[in-house]
Structure 1
Amino acid sequence: MSYPIYQVDAFTSRLFGGNPAAVMPLDTWLDDSTLQALALENNLSETAFFVPADDQADADFQIRWFTPGAEVPLCGHATLASAWVIFNKLGWQGESVRLRSKSGILGVRQSADGWLTLDFPRLDWREEPTPALLRQALDNAPETALFVPNDTNYLLTLDSEQAVRNAKPDMRLLKQLGNQGLIVTARGEECDFVSRYFAPGVGIDEDPVTGSIHSVLVPWWATRLGGTRFLARQISARGGELRCELKGNRVDIAGQAAFYMEGRVYL
């Protein structure tokens, strides 16, 4: 059997920027061990798989996301990449598509300028003392952290954009936390806020651009900056830009995509 595969750079308008995702449309689900093996073989931060949701009135497709090491409950850049494939490679005629996921129904709409907007859930957090292991892993870590129960991420707010750029957490210690990852963020110099994301708990030292962390970053920065609309940048080596808007218990996360390649996988 053979299956189509696409690779798309998400949250960027240029090749070799943003975050590359593999996208594999399927007619029916393969077993979980095969999905995980495919994600490991692709060796990207995420591989997205989706199947038609023919029996579900509230969704057009079902979607799942796998890192090389684990399935994750929510992923932004691979959802954006999947929507790009649906709109541009599968002949989808609508202006929006609905995806059923482990985090509920996710909508993606396409605008005339080529931007894709994700309709994602707002993620809650709780404030707690920064774990001692996390303070050992990152120099000058603040005394207070946010913990995000949905995906088990910690979020640390640093003093400046330069502090975010200079962050060099000890991946060995981060992995010992036993959670998914660490978000670091600060006010931006030429945008509203910046971030980076380290996720050794699911096999990713640093994710280039991470849509899903903006489900907590946007409401968090709304409490700090006021307002509901933000321009965000993830300042990894590849980098990416996101237009975000807080809408009650939902967050709009918009980005562009650059198509890289397509092929077939033979199993």
Structure 2
Amino acid sequence: MPLCPACDTARVSAELAESSRTVVNRVWAERLGVSPLAFGAAEPILITRPELTAAVSLRLGATTAVAAPEEALALLRPLAAEQLIAGAALLTALEPLRPQLLGAASLSFLEGQPETPVTGTTWIAAEADVGSVLDQCSGDEREESGLGEMTHRWAAGARRGEPGAAAGYEVWGDGLAHLGVAVAAGARGRGLGALAAAAAASHAWSSGLVPQWRCRLAHRHSARLAERLGFVRAGEQIAINLGAAGEERTTR
């Protein structure tokens, strides 16, 4: 089965400060349905979620957690922690359930105000023409950015020009600001995405939230943008669709 080669590359690159780590662990624990105290354990955490039709593997710091229906967890229990966050190992173990890789992503977080890009020849405004930026993006780009559902949004453009990038965030668990960014095809390479993202991250941090940047491992440009703004990579996530499990669920 084809697999993105980046799915098994080097993982976590840095540790978060305790205050940020506490927030990140709490919010992700709530989303997975476990106690925040679970993060910090050396042993993998396997979470039975019968309603899921996918296996979601997450690593934060030294802890790996997997949420999936029991038929998937039964196949994953023999795996070591390193294998539970490796795409190839997961796909092999889950072969009886006809798995399909949905995505592998890094998780980065910002501790403080972002590095603000130079704005001498650009403009930034809240909610200004965000829709026109999204209209210039493909359906997949709009969906991946998540901006259509976000309530805190900014647009950026060249001075006296049309908006070329947009960014925003949605609040997760009263602690994380999950960021999304979209850049129109004709406006790439001008720093507008960084400008819009910096505005969103700055607003989130000033509001007492920890900004979160989720980036597919294959999207190196997005990873570089996060690093440029000061985000620290501290986790990763893999989601694998379970075809057989989903079909069984729909016929019950």
Larger fraction in helix: 2
Per the TM superposition, whether the score is higher than 0.5 is: no
The structure having more radius of gyration, on CA atoms, is: 2
Query: Scaled by the length of structure 2, what TM-score is found?
Result: 0.31
Structure with higher RCO (Cα < 8 A, 6+ apart)? 2
Query: Scaled by the length of structure 1, what TM-score is found?
Result: 0.30
